Amino acid sequence: MKIFSIVGARPQFIKLAPLSAALQKQHQEIIVHTGQHYDYAMSQKIFEDLGIREPDIHLETGGGNQTTQFTQMLSRLETAMTDKNPELVIVFGDTNSTLAGALVAAKLNIPILHIEAGLRSYNRAMPEEINRIVTDHVSKYLFAPTPTAINILQKEGLGDKSFLTGDIMVDTMANNIRIALQKSAVLNNLKLETADYSLLTLHRNYNVDDNTVLENLLNQLGNLSEKIIFPVHPRTRKMLSPAYKIPLNIQMIEPQGYLDFIALEHSAKRIITDSGGIQKEAYILKKPCITLRTETEWVETVEEKWNLLVNPTSKNIAEQIINFKTASGQQDIFGINVTVKMVGFINAIN
Ligand code: UD1
Ligand code: UDP
């Protein structure tokens, strides 16, 4: 089968890696990179770390404002799909690249497969929530990462198209964690000891787009006694004013490659984040996770007491973090050998 795998943002490259490695053995897979993320550290470095081959088509839509970028994605994807005639279009997650790929394929009547279907935060102020709902409803095949996602799809009348596959990020982690621990020099380079630091990431619009909110958050994290390693997303970097004096315990670093980042996660005392994927990785690595949001799509991690939601506007963030104790055991939320299941379903489409 001729398949388009459409990606554009960092977490999508991480989801693509194991699937692409398997798909290209049996199908004619064409990797399409929209260019949504374009810095070396946010894109090429992740491809290199994960051994993903160069994209076959690069749409070069990086930079510019969101609307320009999105409209360029639509028109360039239409040209690429009309030119190559894929029989299946695979989209991942919930970014603007996901929505663009799904909309164009839907208009051209090409079957769409959505990986990470059925996620909902029920917060329409997140651009990702709209992207997910629309993508799920125009797709022909929905690969759900968890039973919760399957239930949501059933409630929305999409049960017949839905398959419980597990979460593909489990496989990316399983394939790479040992390599990361052997190869990564990041702990040495940053002079860190295991469990003597917390790891922080922030990039959600409501946490970083208003620099008063962002700086208040960081000031509160300054009340923690441990060192905080903070790889700064480009969106967040743009919002921090040069005059802002970050608390002394927080060390800002560039966005990390995947191997260095999972090595940092693996040795951290705890992980503080507003990322979707990092909440899952914290669970998989059995790390306490503090999510600086009022809701999450990954409700199971909270129900199981491995993830604590902390309202980013609350006044006692450090106290809530210090008092959080995880459960001792874990269920199997995200599945295993997910790629094999996904490829099995895809082969059955053929
Ligand atoms: C996007 C996704 C979000 C995902 C995140 C993963 C949407 C709506 N949002 O958010 O769901 O969680 O990626 O990281 O699709 N920028 C750079 N260099 C880069 C990438 C971005 O400077 O390599 C800048 C952009 O120019 C823009 C800002 O960062 O000013 C935000 O980028 P954008 O892709 O719009 O959204 P993200 O916050 O990265
Ligand atoms: N990640 C990375 N380097 C970093 C920060 C994150 O490689 O400096 C990886 C992380 O391991 C996870 C993914 O990026 O697999 C999460 O992406 P992000 O937080 O950008 O987006 P989200 O998951 O929220 O959509």
* pLDDT tens per residue across span 98-136: 999 999 999 999 999 999 999 999 999 899 999 999 999
- DSSP structural state of residue 257: P
Calpha distance 83→298 (Å, rounded): 38
Closest ligand, as measured to the CA of 261: 2
DSSP β-bridge partners for residue 199:
229, 271
Domains (ranges, CATH) in the chain?
A: 2-167+335-349 (3.40.50.2000), 174-323 (3.40.50.2000)
Closest CA to 233 of 211, 212, 252, 259: 252
Closest ligand, as measured to the CA of 203: 1
- DSSP structural state of residue 292: -
Q: Decide: 159 in ligand 1 pocket, CB within 6 A.
A: no
**How many Å separate Cα 10 from the centre of its chain?**
7
Interval between CA 69 and ligand 1 midpoint (Å): 11
Q: Decide: 46 in ligand 1 pocket, CB within 6 A.
A: no
Give the strand pairing for 57-58 and 250-253.
unpaired
Interval between CA 236 and ligand 2 midpoint (Å): 14
Structure confidence by residue, pLDDT tens digits, 266-277: 999 999 999 999
Alpha-carbon torsion, ordered 60, 52, 202, 94, to 10 deg? 70
Closest CA to 315 of 217, 228, 230, 245: 217
| Alpha-helical regions (H) of 27-126 | 44-50, 66-84, 96-107
Contact by Cβ (8 Å): 332, 304:
no
Which positions are catalytic? 203
Structure confidence by residue, pLDDT tens digits, 38-53: 999 999 999 999 999 9
Calpha distance 275→232 (Å, rounded): 12
Q: Which of 15, 16, 34, 36 to mutate to test the pocket of ligand 1 (most atoms within 8 A of CB)?
A: 36
Structural tokens at position 209: 């787009």
Interval between CA 132 and ligand 1 midpoint (Å): 16
Indicate which residue's Cα is closest to atom 4 of ligand 1: 95
Confidence (pLDDT) at 350? 66
Contact by Cβ (8 Å): 229, 192:
yes
Indicate which residue's Cα is closest to atom 19 of ligand 2: 275
For the CA of 275, the nearest atom of ligand 1: 12
Length of the chain, in residues: 350
Confidence (pLDDT) at 296? 97
Q: Give pLDDT < 70 ranges for the chain.
A: 350
Q: Decide: 36 in ligand 1 pocket, CB within 6 A.
A: yes
Backbone angles phi, psi at 26, to 5 degrees: -120, -15
